[in-house]
Chains A and B, each alone.
Chain A
């Protein structure tokens, strides 16, 4: 399986609810990043968490990182219809070139009004 696998593959919730997406990876990392892709558009960087950090917040986003389990979660609180998009985690692997930024397959989030 791929480095950076998101779970679930698709998530549908009502506006105002919280959305949680998970990501697992295989190798040692320097950092883990979450990106959003609106349909037909490029990726937008949301948040970066370094390997020595456990939790990070940015507005309605909360990211956790557990390096012992090689997993991360992205929580979007009080979701809005505009949050509808695909969300990808991506890892900068430690050692050697850390410029590859390996992506997972993404979680498609649908927020219903």
Chain B
């Protein structure tokens, strides 16, 4: 598609439950990024993919967060055993594979995760 799609728009989980978020990048974009935005403030980088390969995961909390980008499937971000501090809006972005186009990220509308 022409836009980055994210589902669901809103997700509510009890503390300790699992949360799974999905992202469909723009068709033809090879790079996918996940960001976490807490309280409308700064965007924290979590992880990036080049096609189905993890490119940079230095922002991922080691223990409870995992992400995948499998061929012919939406990318996913999964949080095991959610905590209150995981409440945030999670944004997915994609970019093109080469040239100057790969610098500009196209962002999805985000998934708002609320952990109660």
Contacts and interface: CB of A to CB of B under 8 A. Distances in A.
B42 A99 contact: no
B22 interface: no
B73 interface: no
A56 to B, nearest CB: 13
- Chain A's interface size range is 20 to 34
Nearest to B104: A45
Contact of B58 (A31, A100, A101): A100
A41 interface: yes
B108 A42 contact: yes
Contacts of A106: 40-42
A42 to B, nearest CB: 4
A99 B91 contact: no
A29 to B, nearest CB: 11
Nearest to B91: A42
A102 interface: yes
Contacts of B58: 100
Contacts of B93: 43
Contact of A100 (B41, B45, B104, B107): B45
Given A2-B42, A104-B42, A106-B41, A99 B48 contact: yes
Contacts of B42: 2, 88, 103-106
A73 to B, nearest CB: 19
B105 interface: yes
A104 B110 CA distance: 18
Contacts of A92: 103
A84 interface: no
B109 A41 contact: yes
Among B100, B103, B109, B110, the most chain A Cβ lie within 10 Å of the Cβ of: B103
Interface of B: 4, 31, 33, 35, 40-43, 45, 48, 55-56, 58-59, 91, 93, 100, 103-110
Given A42-B4, A100-B48, 13 more contacts: A41-B109, A41-B110, A43-B43, A43-B91, A43-B107, A45-B104, A45-B105, A45-B106, A48-B103, A99-B33, A101-B45, A101-B105, A105-B41
